[in-house]
Structure 1
Amino acid sequence: MRAWGRFRHHTPAMIGLGIIVTFVVLAIFAPLISPYDPNAQNLAEAIEGPSASHWLGTDQLGRDIATRLMYGARISLLIGVLAVSIGLVIGVPLGMVAGYYGGWADLAISRFADMMFAFTSILLALTLVAVLGVSLQNVIIAVGISVIPVIIRLVRSSVLSLREEPYVEAARALGASNLRIITRHVFRNSLTPVLVHGTLSIGVSILLAAGLGFLGLGVQSPTAEWGTMLGEGRQFIFSAPHLTTFPGIAIFLAILAFNLLGDGLRDALDPRMRTVDGPAG
């Protein structure tokens, strides 16, 4: 409850949460909010600026941009959440094993992470999409795999410090199994950095997916996705800048929101903050 109190009074974090909730509401209720079909073409109204009938204008095929942004939020947020989930499901256990057991397991897993670190995130995602093929499913997998090495390193470093804590030594002395120690003591106490980094990684994953879409290797048209919309509008950047401006703003706001939320969670869950407040009652 104290953590929630600190988070609730963290103004930037609440702003970030508000932006995320707004995107989620728009994504869920898009069919009720907009009267337009996101894929319906009307060439007679192509490349129109913002107006009363089309609040953010229309694209090169006469599709309503505001509607496509709302439907695109579904895809972009889905990619971000699922990609980070893949990274956590694979990276957390590997980091736990590497940090707790050490030895050959640590060596093998750390070298695996180092090998993946040889590529930048966007280059790794591009390579994986080129190998797997262009589709929504493969974009999620590619972005998710690019998150794994950072998660491994983060969890490993956290476990290396936690395994020497007195309560872990006491549990080991009482005969607790390694699995019980990892799940009951180590994992629970390493959740804070994982939760914070996972939140920040959602914004990074949205940016990676948008980059793939911009390059034509992400979600394919006519499916609405912010990066794909940005890529389609770049040829009209001077004659119709609204085609790229509004998708760009959506991507910027989403990344900003998850960064603000992650910073707020870090400050709220930081053990040093609990020390300042005094011992929990």
Structure 2
Amino acid sequence: MTFVSNSSPSRTRLGGWSTALRMPPTVALSFAVVAVVVAWSLAPSLFTIHGPVAGVPAEKLLGPSMSHWFGTDHLGRDVYTRVVYGTASSVSSALVAVLIGVVAGGFIGLLAGFLGGWVDVVFARLVDVLLAIPKFLLAVIVVSAIGFETINAAVATGVSAVAFFARVTRSEVIKTRQATFVEASFLLGGSRRYILLRHVLPNASRSVLPLGVLQFGESILVIASLAFLGYGDPPPASDWGLLISIGKDYLKWPWLVYAPAFVTILTVLSVNRISRWLRKTD
């Protein structure tokens, strides 16, 4: 008796996609939050009719209302508008930090794990030194050396993340290098460059994606903290951390702190939730 299977490669692929796209409601909500934040950063003028710099003195320190969702500050500026316009700086800075961490850390981890020997020893000691310094302290040291600007804060945050990307990439490269298909490729005459680019790099990078998403949220938090301490762009910039720093001087009007802090925390929590989901679905 012959059995005919009703399954097909295309149906299998569709089933895999449907499984991947079946996400919990919290993950869907997190994606929605991140989508709104990205839209704010790309086209802030579409989400508010006010300007981020000019204010109306007669409307200073007004509470949240339908006209001013997050209230107004001490200069009569709409806080919601300043939060929206500050998103571009916060998001772009976090992306720069993640890019620096992924490229530099991934390159170090890739060479150390694949070449081994003295290269692995040298890079491992470098990573140990970076890991011995607290991440935020290292960011403060770097931004103090290169200047107080938001882009410099992003570079400092990226440098502080290099060691983490290097360690994760190195461990994944070592695990992939010892796989059977990699050894078989060596025996079949594959060059080191071919094996590195064709087998090792694609498999090792699968664990870097969730870490990169997680680092994106952490970079937003670190850059906001640096801006809060005065290591970012000065006023009238509207970075989230700077808005919180200005608002702390007006404790009788708590929305000046609560509004940017709530947006920052909600964004970071959403990114972290997406990162956990990506690790589970890998």
Same fold (TM over 0.5): yes
Q: Which residue of 1 aligns with 2:202?
A: 188
Q: Which residue of 2 aligns with 1:122?
A: 136
**In the alignment, does 2:68 pair up with 1:49?**
no
**In the alignment, does 2:211 pair up with 1:197?**
yes
Q: How much has 1:103 moved relative to structure 2?
A: 1.1
Q: Which residue of 1 aligns with 2:7?
A: none
Q: What is the number of residues matched between the two proteins?
A: 268
Q: Which runs of 5+ in 2 are unaligned?
A: 1-12
Q: Which residue of 2 aligns with 1:243?
A: 256
Q: Give 1 or 2 for the bigger CA radius of gyration.
A: 2
How far apart, CA to CA, are the structure 2 residues paired with 1:97 and 1:13? 35
How far apart, CA to CA, are the structure 1 residues paired with 2:119 and 2:237? 43
Which structure is higher in RCO with an 8 Å CA cutoff and minimum separation 6?
1
Q: Which residue of 1 aligns with 2:191?
A: 177
**In the alignment, does 2:271 pair up with 1:252?**
no
Q: Which residue of 1 aligns with 2:52?
A: 38
Q: What are the Cα deviations for residues 151-182 of structure 1, in whole angstroms up to 9, with x where unaligned?
A: 00000111111111011101111121212111
Secondary structure at the counterpart of residue 109 of structure 1: helix
**In the alignment, does 2:225 pair up with 1:225?**
no
Q: How much has 1:216 moved relative to structure 2?
A: 0.9
Q: Which residue of 1 aligns with 2:5?
A: none
Whether the 8 Å CA contact 2:150–2:227 is kept in 1: the answer is: no
Q: Which residue of 1 aligns with 2:125?
A: 111
Secondary structure at the counterpart of residue 252 of structure 1: helix
More off after superposition, 104-113 vs 52-61: 52-61
More off after superposition, 256-265 vs 43-52: 43-52
**Letter matched to residue 64 of structure 2:** P
Q: Which residue of 2 aligns with 1:100?
A: 114
Question: Closer, same or farther in 2 for the Cα pair 1:81/1:66, shift >3 Å?
Answer: same
Whether the 8 Å CA contact 2:41–2:87 is kept in 1: the answer is: yes
Q: How much has 1:4 moved relative to structure 2?
A: 4.3
Q: How much has 1:236 moved relative to structure 2?
A: 1.3
Matched residues, percent identical? 34
The match for 2:225 among 191, 211, 214 is: 211
Please list, as runs of the form range in 1=range in 2, the aligned pairs for 1:257-268 lying within 5 A after superposition. Answer: 257-268=270-281
Q: How much has 1:261 moved relative to structure 2?
A: 0.9
Q: Which residue of 2 aligns with 1:26?
A: 40
User: TM-score scaled by structure 2?
Assistant: 0.91
Whether the 8 Å CA contact 1:6–1:268 is kept in 2: the answer is: no
Whether the 8 Å CA contact 2:150–2:223 is kept in 1: the answer is: no
**In the alignment, does 2:102 pair up with 1:88?**
yes
Whether the 8 Å CA contact 2:149–2:233 is kept in 1: the answer is: yes
Q: What are the Cα deviations for residues 99-124 of structure 1, in whole angstroms up to 9, with x where unaligned?
A: 11111111111111111112111111
Query: What is the alpha-carbon root mean square deviation over aligned residues?
Result: 1.4
Whether the 8 Å CA contact 1:204–1:255 is kept in 2: the answer is: yes
Please list, as runs of the form range in 1=range in 2, the aligned pairs for 1:141-156 lying within 5 A after superposition. Answer: 141-156=155-170
Whether the 8 Å CA contact 1:76–1:206 is kept in 2: the answer is: yes
Q: How much has 1:3 moved relative to structure 2?
A: 5.7
Whether the 8 Å CA contact 1:8–1:14 is kept in 2: the answer is: no
How far apart, CA to CA, are the structure 2 residues paired with 1:232 and 1:3? 49
Q: What are the Cα deviations for residues 176-205 of structure 1, in whole angstroms up to 9, with x where unaligned?
A: 121211111011111221001000100000
Whether the 8 Å CA contact 1:15–1:260 is kept in 2: the answer is: no
Secondary structure at the counterpart of residue 191 of structure 1: helix
Q: How much has 1:55 moved relative to structure 2?
A: 1.4
How far apart, CA to CA, are the structure 2 residues paired with 1:106 and 1:3? 38
**In the alignment, does 2:208 pair up with 1:164?**
no
Q: How much has 1:136 moved relative to structure 2?
A: 2.2
**Letter matched to residue 253 of structure 2:** A
Secondary structure at the counterpart of residue 236 of structure 1: coil
**Letter matched to residue 196 of structure 2:** I
How far apart, CA to CA, are the structure 2 residues paired with 1:3 and 1:112? 41
Question: Closer, same or farther in 2 for the Cα pair 1:3/1:89, shift >3 Å?
Answer: farther
Secondary structure at the counterpart of residue 119 of structure 2: helix
Q: How much has 1:135 moved relative to structure 2?
A: 1.1
